Amino acid sequence: MLLAAVHETYTTVVAQIGNPTPETPPVADKLMKLVRYFTWFTMLSGVTAITYGGGRFAWEKWSGGGLESPKMVAGAMIGGATATSAGTIMNTVIGS
């Protein structure tokens, strides 16, 4: 008996709750513009890191000095690949 009363009360309350219509936040356009700028900056920094790492490695190889930059080159390559992937992942998550 108590279960039936609770069930009826629950269905009555839930029936009164309408389906809200989605609307964009007030500053969504400015936020999306900021996200797009951040995405481009991230991708540009990734490409720059990969280019710098390769150039540094080539300079040490050409000058004949000790190869002190393999760790830096590996770090730049990994960091650059991660930063470049982050831009793509952000675009996928946002759905643009």
This prediction's pTM: 0.51
Count how many Cα atoms sit within 13 Å of the Cα of residue 85 in the half-sphere of its side chain. Answer: 6
C-alpha of 6 from chain center: 45
74/82 Cα distance (integer angstroms): 12
User: Residues 17, 23, 26, 32: is their CA dihedral positive or negative?
Assistant: positive
Query: How confident is the model at residue 47, as a pLDDT?
Result: 77
Please list the pLDDT of the chain residue by residue as tens digits (96 residues): 777 777 777 777 666 666 778 788 888 888 888 888 887 887 787 778 778 877 877 887 788 766 666 777 777 778 777 777 877 787 788 775
